[in-house]
Structure formats: C-alpha cells, structure tokens
A and B are shown apart, each in its own frame.
Chain A
Amino acid sequence: MKPPPFAYHAPTDLDEAVGLLAEAGDEGKVLAGGQSLIPLLNMRLAAPRVLVDINAVAGLEDIRVDAAGVRVGARVRHAELEADTAAAEAVPLLGQGLRLVAHPVIRNRGTTVGSIAHADPSAEMPAVLALLEGAVEVRGRAGTRTVPAAEFVTGPMETALAPGEIAVAARFPRPRPGTGTAFVETARRNGDYALCGAAAAVTLGADGRITAARCCLISVAPVPLVVDLTDHLAGRTARLGDLDGAAAAAAEQADPEDDIHAGADYRRHLARVLTARALARAAAAAPAAVADTYTGASR
C-alpha cells in the first residue's frame, strides 16, 4: 500500500509545468489535491513515471466571479470554493454539490478542477459542470483551448485531456434568471460516493409555471447523465405529482450496473425518486420575485 516510484516535479510556472508534462507524455500525471490520485498510487492501480505537482504553479489559485459566472482555478480546494460567498450567490449549485463531496477533511485538500479532470462517474462536480453547461480551460504546448462540459468527460475516468495537457480552470455559468437548482443523493454512509445522485435546474416563468427543466444523474451511467425534461414539464407546476412522469423518463435513460454497494434495479429506483426530489427542491429554490407573482395552484 505504498506508491510505486516516480520522478517528482513541483514547478512554479505554468509553461514549465506543461513542458514537463508534455515531455513525460503518456507516462506523466498531474498531481493536484491527491485525494483520488494518491489512493490509486497507494493501491498500485496507477503507476505514472512522472508526477507534475501543480500546487505551486502561479496563476491557478483564483476564484473569479463576474457577470458570466464563476471561474475556478485548478488549485482551488473544494473547501475554499464552498466558503466563497460571492461564488455561492452567483451559482448556488456549486455549494449544493460541494457539501456532498466526501468529508470536510478531504475537501480541505481535493480540488474542484481535479475532481472534474478525474471524471469519476459518481463525482458531484463534473455533474454540476455538465448541468450548468460550463466549460474547462485546457492548456497544452499548443496553447489554450476551451472544452464544453458535454465534450469534456468522455467515459468513466476518461476526458478530452490529451497527454501533456493541464486543466487550468473550470467555468460555471450563472443559471438563467428565474432558475432554481438542487442536488440530492443517497450514499451508504455520510461522505461516501453516492449510490445515485440527482442535480436539477428548474426555470419558472412569471406565472410560476415551469418554462425549462433539466437534471443530471450520477452513478447510473458512464458519464454524468444530463436529461432535458422541458418537454415533460413545460407549462406545468412543480407539485410532486406533476414531476413523477418526468422523473420516470429521466430514470429510463439511466444505465446502472450492479456492484457490491447496490444492485442496478435499486439504483434505477433511486434515479427516479431522487430526480423527483431534486426537481421539487430546485423549483422551490427558484427566485422569490418569480414566486411572488405566481398565482396558479400551490407548488
């Protein structure tokens, strides 16, 4: 249970980091918070020849909040982002997802961008990025490119990152006006990866009826599963009964597997129940100004 040998570099400059990583090619790995990579090394499930530690690289440490949303640098810890009130106000789904990521002690060290780059199908933050239609800024020797969330995670623990590329930041857009969000999940123990989780974004019109609804499911597909439920819900209210059909439609798209933690049937059941719950909470969280003008049946 000790890591295999590797060469270690801790550059302070981004171009140097990219250079070192490019030189190592297939055999190089970025070390961010280490909360996923070091367990893999300890269990000898990964054996990179070169580790490039980015924890001292300048320019990756910022959380920037502007009209577009929140830009999170690659060195920002889950705990730092969770504590940032401006970010929470701009994109409430960040905090709603972060509090479900492991335990506070893991969040003290693990990075949000690292979690997205790791692309575990049970991880919350890739789902947050996918539901909000965010993007990842990627730096390689050829320069910087921006990869939309829908193209970033390509499979279980597989991403669009090429060898030698570093994810320098993730961009989480503000939800559209009138939108509420929520993230709910079921895990075997507090802090564990979810057996199933559902994030939802529901937009209400001035009459309090739904104009758009999307959900993103984790742990039931190889990648975060985004399902647009607008066709099922447009013009409806967000009463639980009204949401059941949409939740069932979302669960139908899930393709869970049996494992030691839960059977596929149970996970599919969770997908339906949790989607309904997430949609209801997201609608309830939609901005009060909209709710005030609402005159239809109670939600």
Chain B
Amino acid sequence: MTEDVHDIRLRVNGIQHTARVPARRLLSDCLRHDLGLTGTHVGCEHGVCGACTVLVDGRPVRSCLMLAVSAAQHADITTVEGLAAADGTPHPVQQAFAECHALQCGFCTPGFLTLVAAYLRDNPDPGEDDAREAVTGNLCRCTGYQNIVAAVLRAAEITRGQDGVPRARPPAEEGRVPEAGGGRP
C-alpha cells in the first residue's frame, strides 16, 4: 500500500520542529533520523530494554512504542540531549553517572539518564532499595547495575546540594539558604 504521510510538529528539548513522516514512523526513529537527535538509542524495539526512554510531558515512556504522529499530540518531549543546562553544565544525573562509573559502553545510558531524571524529580530522597527498584525496567549488559544504583543515590545527593556540590537552581532561588532536613538520615 502507499505510505500515509503526515506533517507533524514536535517540541523537543524546548525547540519546535516540523517533520514529514509516514504514519508508521516510530518516535524513536523520528528523533534519530528526521530530527538528527541520535542520543536516543534503539535496542530491542519492543519495549523491553529501555534504551529508547524519553520524557513525554515530563513522564518517561518508550519512544519505540509510540508513533511520531501520536507524539505530536503532546506538548513537550525531552531527550537525553535536553538534560544538561543551556550552558552545557551536566544534569546532576549525568554528573553522578560519570562520577560513579555507571556506564561502560554507554549504549543503555540515555535511557537510564532520562528515566532517573524523572524518577528523582518525583522521588528526591530514595533509599538503596528504591533506587534499585526504579531502574529495574531498563537493561544494561555491561555494568552489573551496582554503579547505576550508586549513581541514582549520588544524583539525589547532588540535587539536594550535599557534599559541597552546589545544587542546580533556577535564578530566582539563587542565594537562598538550602532548606534544613533535606538530607537522608
């Protein structure tokens, strides 16, 4: 049959894109092929590995299980390229993954970074069991997960501004005294 082609508008990492895609284009392929955002990786294409995880309206989803045309119904998509600050400062989760050696080949990493960024936004103070549970849906063939779990905990620490590492804050909050009691017991 002839391809059913659609003109779509997608807002990715704050930037409005347009693309002409066949109906069957997966969001993962649209990001990579049509928009050139190859940070999103594709492993299994049936929802099992998590390498393709992106945030749609802030929530982690599998981009290999979403059509680009359906994604255009949503306001906002964040890929791994959108995690760092505009000046290139890594997101706390990126910093923690580097510090804790939570990657080897790096193939799974974009999926973990987007997943964990959303997880820590909603659960800023996880314990080790919570951290382990949070990443069970994503597969990594290299690390054995220990350092990934450590990185989740470290990212939470960085975000809370412990260890003398400043917490990334919006300008309005600059200079405010960090709230007491934010630390883990």
Contacts and interface: CB of A to CB of B under 8 A. Distances in A.
B67 A38 contact: yes
A104 B26 CA distance: 21
Interface string B58-74: 01111011110110010
A296 interface: no
Nearest to A8: B23
Interface string A145-174: 000000000000000000000000000000
Interface stretch (A105-113, A128-136, A265-273): A105-113
Q: Is the interface of A mostly helix, strand, loop or mixed?
A: loop
B73 A55 contact: yes
Contacts of B6: 8
Interface string A69-105: 0000000000100000000000000000000001111
Contact of A34 (B4, B23, B70, B73): B70
Contacts, number: 95
Interface string A39-73: 10111000001010101100000000000000000
A2 interface: yes
B115 interface: yes
B24 A108 contact: no
A109 B1 contact: no
Contacts of B2: 5
A109 B74 CA distance: 12
Interface size class of A (residues with CB under 8 A): 20 to 34
Nearest to B44: A1
Contacts of A8: 4, 6, 23-24, 67, 69
20 contacts: A2-B26, A5-B1, A5-B4, A5-B23, A5-B24, A6-B1, A6-B24, A7-B1, A34-B70, A35-B47, A39-B46, A102-B137, A103-B136, A105-B50, A105-B137, A106-B137, A108-B59, A109-B61, A189-B136, A190-B137
Given A5-B3, A5-B4, 14 more contacts: A2-B24, A4-B24, A35-B47, A35-B62, A38-B47, A39-B65, A43-B46, A53-B67, A56-B73, A103-B136, A105-B50, A105-B61, A105-B137, A109-B65
